[in-house]
Each structure stands twice: as C-alpha cells, then as structure tokens.
A and B are shown apart, each in its own frame.
Chain A
C-alpha cells in the first residue's frame, strides 16, 4: 500500500529537479504555521472557557443593597441552607475599598449606594428559592445572582471564537489544498513530455501518479513540519510569559490532549495535501489516452 514511498534513485530521477524546489514547501509551511497558531488559540480558548465554566457553575452571590446593617444573620441563613458548601461575606466597607481603586475618594461617599455581597457555593440540589425568601425577610431587596448567568455572554463569546478558530483552520486547510492542486498541475505541465513517454511505453496512471504523489508528500511534510516548528517556538514564547504573550494568552493553557491534537495537525495537513495532489494528478492523467 505504501510501496510508492520507497522508490529507487532511478525512479526519483524521472522527475528531475531539486528535491525541495518550487514554492510548495513554503506555501505549506506558511499555512501550517497559521493553522497551528489558530488551532492553539482555539484550544486555549476552549480550555479557558471550560475552566471558567467549571469554576462558576456552583457559585452564587447574595446581593444586599444599602447594607449598613450587620451581615451576620444573612450569613447564618446562607450557611444553614442545605447544599451550601462555602460562604464568604464581603462587607460594604470592603466593597468601597475595592471600588476606591477605580473611583477614588468618591467610592467612600455615602451618596454612592454600594451593596454588600455574600459569595457562596451551592450544590445542584440546594433550595435557593427558600434561601431567597429568607434573605428577603431579613434584608428587603436582597437577591441571589448565579455567576453563570452573568458570565454566560462571555462564555458564549468564547464558544463563538472557538468556532471561528475551527472555521479558519478548515479554510486554511482548503487554501493549502488549492495551492497543492495548482502545484500538482504545474508539475504535470512541466513533466508532460516525460509522462507521455512513460505512458507510451506502458506505464499506468498509478505508476505516474506515485512519482508526483511522493514528491508532493515530501514537500508537504517538510513544509508542514517547518511551519509547525515555527508555530511551536511562538507558542513557547507566549507560554513563557513574554510581555506580548501575557496580553494575548491571559490564563489560557493547553492540556495534554490539546498538545496531542496540535502535534497531529502537521501530519494531517501532509496527508490531506498528498491525497488532494493524488486526486488532481489522476484526474488530469485521465484526460489523455
């Protein structure tokens, strides 16, 4: 099945020319580089979205507007609710100190209404509606906010960005395939005489195709690996906390499965390019007698 990969030097000489001549390896390298970076970004976004989603899935906040009174009864109410696993109160004065970083002295003004917050984690079966009623009885206007509701739009945006990254990977793969088809047609034109002679002495289409298929496989593999290597260097720089990297990557990380997917991509691109070239060459040869 793969005997076409291992041809004699004599068969290699049939197509002549330099081993890595022409623009194909360069085009594939650029495509591979771009695909790797986009795929890594997409996977990192997926990872970040997953982390964020897991972190906020069970997290809630009890907001207490204008909470000048003590939070203790409310904290006690939250803590005594079945299913609540963690409670942390954020008193109004702590909130004002936090806001002071952005608002300055105005944050301490009594004219600025600042709520007190009680963060808590609750399991899926927790009776939050009962807690809501009890909290409202203690502090009128108190309300429970699920973090997933407030972060939902951000998660949707991240999911959309992952699909955009996936679409770009597909588009770049199609562009790489189109470049390979053009390269294969160019190679056929360049070697048309050799092909005619080979057909004339009884070579089959497959014999001729294998020569081109092998050459394009090598070009595509070299280009893919070179592009992937360059992308890996860039990703390592980003991951090691270069100034620019920090801005771009944020807290996103790549796990082992993500790395495995990235490692497979250059080989997948090579297989795709080779298959496309083989199909293009066979189709072109069939137009001759």
Chain B
C-alpha cells in the first residue's frame, strides 16, 4: 500500500543535547488517520516537526510522498510543504493580518489570484463558525477562535498530509467534535491525518484511527506495527 511518510532509523537531537527522538521506524499509509500520543516531553512535537519539514533528522532517513528528503536541498522543500497542512499548538497566526488573510495565505503562496481566494476562504471561515469574524485580527480573537482560524488555514489547500498538534485544546466539546468531523471528512477524501493529542475521548470517538505512542523519544511498539487505538486510555 502507498505510504505518505517513511521513517527509517530516525534520530533527532537539538544542538549537542541528548537525542529527543531515537530509532524511529514506521510508515504512514496514504489515506489513513493517526493519533500521536504519549506523555509530555515524549517527543510528539519534535516528531511532528520532522513530518512537516520544519526540522531535519540528525540521523536516519525520512521519505515523504515517495521522496527522500532527509538531506534534500532546502530549495527543494517548499513544493512538499505545500502538500502538508499544519495546525500548530500555538496557532502561529500572523498578528497583523485579518482572519481572512491568515486563512488565505496558503492559497496565495500557491499563486492563487484574489478572485480565486475569496470564495474558498469565506466558505472555510463559515465552516469553522467564523464567517462574521473574517476581518478580525488574531489578538482580538479568543483562543478557541484563533485555533479555528489556524485549522482553516491548515486545510484550505486540501493538503495530502494534515498534521495537527493538540488541535482541540482550546475549543469546547461541541467545536472539538465539529473539527474532528472536518478532519475525518478530509481523511475520507484521501488526506492522511496525524493528530497529536492527550484527549482520550477524541481518540475513542474516531473509529478506525491508528495509534502512534511515543515514550522517551521512541515508539512504544518496537515492531513498528501501528495499532488501532484502544477503547481505554492510551
């Protein structure tokens, strides 16, 4: 089966410190839905950074979309990044841009004209319940609203791989369900989804999703076989 990402003996250290990720060997199948879990400090965010090409591994190989990118020249990376949608834990919204412009950014980077941007962005903002806040700037939005803008920005380009770091941490249960519904819908359309979360309820509410569990920088399942999530707490 086709894979979106392949990690072979991947390790990561920051500077001269100890390795925060060690001997990661796994594959993410195209069109699958994954939850990444583990205690705080286990390396979830670092693993996601490797996935969305914000970090290079210090050892091992990473293949994304069938291309070996561990040592690819940096000028080769942008086309791959455009195929990935990222929801950051701290939202990473540009403060001086409106919600509309923040959501439109991936389309514009992709070369879309203003008239091609208007419709999809309005539609996406409406979907995340922010149609009437399109011109608001991030500092004037609540944490939950900012998170929804970040999610709208991540999915506006219909990415092949969607990576989300605690995407429901700042929204109420109802909005969390709607957002997970959006992720699931995108997954059904073929997007591979990787969500890092501590939310057991979220995992349990997503049947068919697979679980990646990290502890102390390594995968808990040493065989690399990714399992369906348990019904109980991970």
**A positions within 8 Å CB-CB of B:** 8, 10-11, 13-14, 16-17, 193-194, 196-205, 207, 286, 289
Q: How far is the CB of B71 from the nearest CB of chain A, in Å? A: 12
Q: Known pairs A202-B106, A204-B75. 6 more at Cβ < 8 A?
A: A10-B117, A16-B97, A201-B82, A201-B106, A203-B109, A289-B54
Which B residues are CB-close (under 8 A) to A10?
101, 104, 108, 114, 117
B-side contacts of A204, CB under 8 Å: 75, 78
Judging by beta carbons under 8 Å apart, are B109 and A198 in contact? yes
- Which residues on the A side are within 8 Å of B84 (C-beta)? 202
Closest to A196 in B: B92
Chain B: interface residue total (CB-CB under 8 A):
30
| 25 examples of A-B residue contacts, CB within 8 angstroms | A8-B108, A10-B101, A10-B104, A10-B108, A10-B117, A13-B97, A13-B101, A16-B97, A193-B94, A194-B94, A196-B92, A197-B94, A199-B81, A201-B81, A201-B82, A201-B109, A201-B153, A202-B80, A202-B110, A203-B109, A207-B109, A289-B53, A289-B54, A289-B55, A289-B56
Q: Which residues of B contact A201 (CB under 8 A)?
A: 81-82, 86, 105-106, 109, 153
* Shortest distance between the CB of A14 and any CB in chain B (Å): 7
* B109 proximity list for chain A (CB < 8 A): 198, 201-203, 207
| Residue B96 lies at the interface, judged by CB distance under 8 Å to chain A | yes
CB distance from A219 to the nearest CB of B (A): 19
> Of residues B74, B109, B110, which shows the largest number of chain A Cβ atoms within 10 Å of its Cβ?
B109
Q: Which of B55, B78, B94, B96 contacts A202 (CB 8 A)?
A: B78
Residues of A within 8 A of B83 (CB): 202
| Cβ-defined partner of A14 (8 Å) among B74, B86, B92, B94 | B94
* Distance in Å: Cβ of A254 to nearest Cβ of chain B: 47
